[in-house]
């Protein structure tokens, strides 16, 4: 068996086309979605992520603004900038790129962002609404995974979904989203983590296996049953002297072996990553429609 490749680039492009139509209708009403990104410090990965998000905004007609600060920025100044953005009517989404320098509390940053402009879905109000099954903004990566499954014909409804990883960015919110009695959910969900015993026994029960623990090529073909659908959230650098950069990206799944057993699998890169950005854009447009 050779697995179907679930193409996140293709699906995200389809989502962006749909967003262009919504943006066009908003502009007819005199509204333009606006996203403000805030970057503190010179973390190379953070700079790449922010640039990718800004470029994606420009491609579909979302206004984007970026505020860049040195890593020494006092916490009080960052919080004041966020409060200013909360009050600006042309800004509908606020994105503060993590991680933050040590002097800045990420929790304080999240709490300061207006929940109505929290397009990352991190604010406790939005998290609570998600748990209650009445979401406003859901976190982008879990939402992207859900969209990826549904749009590729692998609806989780009625399936046993096993999630590897209980992190606050992916594992926990995704579990909450998938057990809801709603469209694109209604699954039986198991979460595995460092305290899980007999892990392969559980992963082999999965109809859909979602790997999000940040360990390169951790999931091997002996850990999955034939016909499983595999969603690989991991992005790990491994040394590769054959490449110009000296490294390459791999997921949490041993793609070469697992793809011979699975019925469908996401690649790394090109699977979940593009969907995360698409959901950020979608949440920003939704905020503009609501505000």
What are the backbone dihedrals phi and psi of residue 254, each rounded to the nearest 5 degrees, phi first? -75, 90
Q: Distance (Å, rounded) from C-alpha 243 to C-alpha 253?
A: 21
* CA nearest to 280, candidates 176, 144, 155, 177: 144
CB atoms within 10 A of CB 136: 18
Q: Please, what is the end-to-end C-alpha distance for the chain in angstroms? A: 49
Q: Distance (Å, rounded) from C-alpha 47 to C-alpha 24?
A: 29
CB-facing half-sphere around the CA of 138: CA atoms within 13 A: 24
DSSP 101: P
Q: Distance (Å, rounded) from C-alpha 232 to C-alpha 60?
A: 27
CB 50 within 8 A of CB 64: no
CB 205 within 8 A of CB 226: no
Strand order in the sheet with 34-40: 63-69, 34-40, 93-96
Interacting residues of 133 by C-beta distance below 8 A, sequence separation 6+:
180, 181, 182
Residue numbers annotated as active site:
53, 97, 120
Q: Distance (Å, rounded) from C-alpha 118 to C-alpha 114?
A: 6
Query: How many residues belong to the chain?
Result: 291
């Amino acid at each position: 068996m050779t697995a179907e490749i679930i193409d996140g680039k293709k699906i995200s492009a389809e989502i962006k086309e749909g967003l262009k139509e919504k943006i066009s209708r908003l502009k007819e009403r005199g509204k333009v979605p606006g996203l403000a990104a805030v970057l503190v410090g010179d973390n190379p990965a953070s700079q790449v992520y922010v640039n990718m998000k800004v470029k994606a905004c420009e491609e579909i007609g979302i206004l984007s603004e970026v505020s860049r600060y040195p890593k020494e920025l006092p916490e009080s100044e960052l919080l004041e900038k966020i409060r200013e953005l909360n009050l600006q009517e042309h800004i509908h989404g606020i994105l503060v790129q993590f991680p933050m320098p040590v002097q800045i509390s990420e929790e304080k940053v999240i709490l300061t962002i207006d929940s109505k402009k929290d397009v990352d879905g991190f604010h406790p109000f939005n998290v609570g609404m998600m748990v209650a099954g009445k979401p406003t903004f859901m976190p982008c990566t879990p939402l992207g995974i859900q969209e990826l499954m549904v749009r590729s014909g692998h609806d989780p409804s009625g399936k046993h979904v096993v999630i590897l990883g209980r992190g606050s960015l992916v594992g926990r919110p995704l579990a909450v989203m998938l057990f809801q009695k709603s469209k694109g959910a209604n699954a039986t969900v198991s979460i595995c983590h460092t305290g899980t015993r007999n892990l392969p026994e559980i992963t082999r029960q999965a109809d859909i296996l979602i790997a999000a623990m940040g360990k390169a090529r951790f999931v091997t073909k002996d850990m999955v049953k034939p016909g499983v659908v595999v969603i690989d959230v991991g992005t790990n650098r491994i040394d590769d002297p054959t490449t110009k950069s000296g490294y390459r990206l791999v997921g949490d799944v041993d793609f070469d072996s697992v793809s011979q057993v699975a019925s469908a699998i996401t690649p790394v890169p090109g699977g979940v990553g593009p969907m995360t950005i698409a959901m950020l854009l979608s949440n920003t447009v939704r905020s503009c429609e609501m505000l």
